[in-house]
Amino acid sequence: MNRKDFLKSSTLFGAAALILPTTSAFAENLADNSIDKLVDANGNYIQQTLPYSETFLEPYMDAETLHLHYTFHHGGAVKGANKDLQMIKKALDENNLETVDFWTKKLSYHFSSHILHSIFWTNLTNKSNLPKGDLLKRIEKSFGSFDRLKVLIAATAKNVDGNGWGIVAYQPYSDSLVVLQCENHEKLTQWGAIPILVIDVWEHAYYLKYKNKRTDFVDALFNIINWDNVALRLNDALKLTL
């Protein structure tokens, strides 16, 4: 039984009392290999529905910001990625590669945005919880303690130059958790790293409510991080890279 099946059956039989309500919606959005389903059967990019209502994360993330963010910023990235893909196919069909580097860069930007936003929504919940089990052990091994990770990821996210993300990822090449500071959606990564927790610090993520106070937004976000989802993502990253 894979994670998707387990989550479905455990929810059905009520054995998932400790799993937040969003978990079953999250399970519906997974591909058979338990990673986020971001493409349809034809390879076109698709945006999954939010795993909760737009008011679910109030007051830390307001409904208007969530609506605009999900619909136009994430949604726009999905549309952009599909266009980029078509333009690359067209260039190959016509054997005209003069602009293919432009569209390839665009696709990196848009698809990376799609990936990170898809993870971001599921990383959040309206009930705070804490890391435990294997996730906590891995955090302690890589950073010393959970508090040290919190300090590091918060400082990393707050200090992104311009728009970007703070990211906790599993890095299979070092078999460790790493903190990355991503600019835009695709810069400053490490090859192979699989994001398990992402913090969006683009201005569109917070400006309506927090104005210029990105620091307040990042601090507030720790009230709604779903560490149970982070743990599931770590488990999948480990399975994917075995």
**Cβ closest to Fe ion, residue 135 vs residue 196:** 196
SS3 56: coil
Distances (CA, A) of 141 to 121, 151, 168, 187: 27, 16, 14, 26
Distance in Å, CB of 120 to Fe ion, minimum: 7
Among 36, 200, 228, 236, binds Fe ion (CB under 5 A): 200
Peptide bond into 172 cis (omega under 30): no
Which residue, 115 or 194, has its beta carbon nearer to Fe ion? 115
45 counts as binding Fe ion under rule CB under 5 A: no
Tell me if 24 sits within 8 A of 125, measured CB to CB.
no
The residue within the footprint of Fe ion, chosen from 26, 103, 202, 206 (CB under 5 A), is: 202
Q: Which residue is nearest to Fe ion (CB)?
A: 200
Q: Are 121 and 49 in contact (CB under 8 A)?
A: no
Closest CA to 38 of 123, 100, 112: 112
- Comparison of 149 and 205: residue with beta carbon closer to Fe ion: 205
For Fe ion (CB under 5 A), the number of binding residues is 4
List the alpha helices (DSSP H) in the chain.
3-12, 22-28, 63-68, 75-93, 100-122, 133-143, 146-158, 207-210, 214-221, 227-240
CB of 73 to Fe ion, least distance (A): 5
Is 200 annotated in a binding site? The answer is yes
Q: Are the C-beta atoms of 52 and 66 separated by less than 8 Å? A: no
- Asked if 236 is part of the footprint of Fe ion (rule: CB under 5 A), the reply reads no
109 binds Fe ion (CB under 5 A): no
The stretch near Fe ion (CB under 5 A) out of 48-56, 82-90, 136-144, 192-200 is 192-200
Residues 46-75 contacting Fe ion, CB under 5 A: 73
**Residues at the contact surface with Fe ion, assessed by CB under 5 A:** 73, 200, 202, 205
